Amino acid sequence: MTHPMLTLSKDVAAALADGQPVVALESTIISHGMPFPRNVETALAVEAAVRDEGAVPATIAVLGGWACVGLTAEQIGYLGERGLDVPKLSRRDLPLALVSGGDGATTVAATMILAARAGVEVFATGGIGGVHRGAELTFDVSADLQELAQTNVAVVCAGAKAILDLPKTLEYLETHGVPVVGFGTDDLPGFYTTKTGLGVDFRADTPAQVADLLQAKWDFSLNGGVLVTNPVPSDQALDLTRVDTAISQAVAEAEQQGIGGKDATPFLLARVKDLTGGDSLETNIALIENNARLAARIAAERQARRAHQTA
C-alpha cells in the first residue's frame, strides 16, 4: 500500500510502470555527508551514472512533508545547499517529518523504507551505518542495520568504514539474517580501502549472481535486505594506516566532545575528511559512482527476469 504522502517523480513512476530498472539513492549523504557544492555535483553525477547504465535514478528525500521518490536537479541543489540545516531522517524521524510538513534528508534506513513502498528494490549508497566503536557502552547501533533486517531492498555500498566496529556490525547482520555479498571479492571492503581482512558470506562476480540471491531470498519469503559490498576501485583507495590514524583521532575527539546520537556519523565523516586533507572526499565520490553503476546493473538483471517470468 502506498501512502498518500508518497510522491513519485514522473520519470520514476513511468519507469516502474514500464518495468524499467530503477535505482534508489539517499539524501543524507547530500545534506550531511559531504560539503557544498561537491555534494550536489556528486549527487548529479551519481544520477548520471545510473542513467548511463540504462536505469532510472530515484533520489529520495522528504520535502514539505511529502515523501519524494525521484527528485529534480533543483531539489537536489536545495538539499545540498541547505546542508546540515536539513534534518537527518532515519526510521524514527520519518513520521515526524511527514506531520510537520518539513524537509528531511533520508538515511539508508529511511531511504530503504520509502524505496520499498514505491516498489524500488535496489539502492546504491557510499557506506551504511553500523555498530559504533564503544557500542557496548553507548548502545550506538545505526537503525540502518535493523532496516536491513526487515525491509526487502538490496543495498549496494563500499562496505562499512572503520569509524564503526566492523566485527560487531557483521555479528549484528548475521543475527538478523542479512547476507553480506562481496562483489568480486571474498574480503569485506572497508569503504576507503578495498579490504578489511574480514570475510563476506557470499562472493558474487556478476550482477546476475546477485539477482539470483535476491530472488532466492525473497521467493522464499525471507524478508529483509541484502548488503552488496563493492570495493572502491583500487586506484582510488586510500592507504589503510593513514585512514586508521585519521579515524582513531576522529573517534577520540567525538568522545571528548560528547558527540553522540545522530550527530555522531556526520561529525566523524567531516573530521576524517579534514584529517586526510580532503583525500577521503575524493575517494568517497569515486566509490559512490562505482556503486551506482553496479546497482543499475543489478536492477536491470532483476527486471530482465521479471519480464521473462511474465512473458
Instruction: Please give the residue ranges that form the binding site for ligand PSU (CB under 6 A).
Output: 26, 28-29, 33, 90, 107-108, 126-129, 142-144, 161, 191, 262, 265, 269
User: Which among 247, 92, 277 is positioned nearest to 160, based on CA atoms?
Assistant: 247
Minimum Å distance from CB 134 to Mn ion?
A: 11
161 touches which of Mn ion, ligand PSU, none (CB within 5 to 8 A by kind)? ligand PSU
Residue among 8 and 145 whose Cβ is closer to Mn ion: 145
Q: Which of residues 53-72 bind Mn ion (CB under 5 A)?
A: none
Give me the residues paired with residue 229 across strands: 157, 182
- What phi and psi values does residue 304 have, to the nearest 5 degrees? -60, -40
Backbone region of residue 19 per phi and psi (left: phi > 0; alpha: psi in -120 to 50; beta: other values): left
- Tell me the HSE value of 121 on the side-chain side, using a 13 A CA sphere: 23
231 touches which of Mn ion, ligand PSU, none (CB within 5 to 8 A by kind)? none
Minimum Å distance from CB 146 to Mn ion?
A: 11
Residues 48, 42: Cα–Cα separation, whole Å? 10
Residue among 53 and 140 whose Cβ is closer to Mn ion: 140
168 to 60, 96, 134, 253: CA distances (angstroms) = 29, 30, 10, 22
| Beta carbons within 8 Å of 310's beta carbon, 6+ residues apart | none
196 touches which of Mn ion, ligand PSU, none (CB within 5 to 8 A by kind)? none
Tell me which residues are annotated as active site. 26, 161
Q: Residue count at the site for Mn ion (CB under 5 A)? A: 1
21 touches which of ligand PSU, Mn ion, none (CB within 5 to 8 A by kind)? none
Minimum Å distance from CB 144 to ligand PSU?
A: 5
Residues 237, 60: Cα–Cα separation, whole Å? 28
Residues 217, 213: Cα–Cα separation, whole Å? 6
Minimum Å distance from CB 184 to ligand PSU?
A: 20
Q: Which of residues 101-140 bind Mn ion (CB under 5 A)?
A: 140
Minimum Å distance from CB 208 to ligand PSU?
A: 28
29 touches which of Mn ion, ligand PSU, none (CB within 5 to 8 A by kind)? ligand PSU
User: Cβ distance 23 to 121 under 8 Å?
Assistant: no
The pairing of beta strand 226-229 with beta strand 202-204: unpaired
Q: Which of residues 138-167 bind Mn ion (CB under 5 A)?
A: 140
Residues 280, 272: Cα–Cα separation, whole Å? 7
Both ends of the chain: CA-CA distance in Å? 26
Minimum Å distance from CB 311 to ligand PSU?
A: 37
Residue among 110 and 118 whose Cβ is closer to ligand PSU: 110
Q: How many CB atoms lie within 10 A of CB 94?
A: 18
Residue among 233 and 260 whose Cβ is closer to Mn ion: 260
Residue among 15 and 232 whose Cβ is closer to ligand PSU: 232
Establish if 93 lies at the interface with Mn ion (CB under 5 A).
Answer: no
Residue among 143 and 198 whose Cβ is closer to ligand PSU: 143
Residues at the contact surface with Mn ion, assessed by CB under 5 A? 140
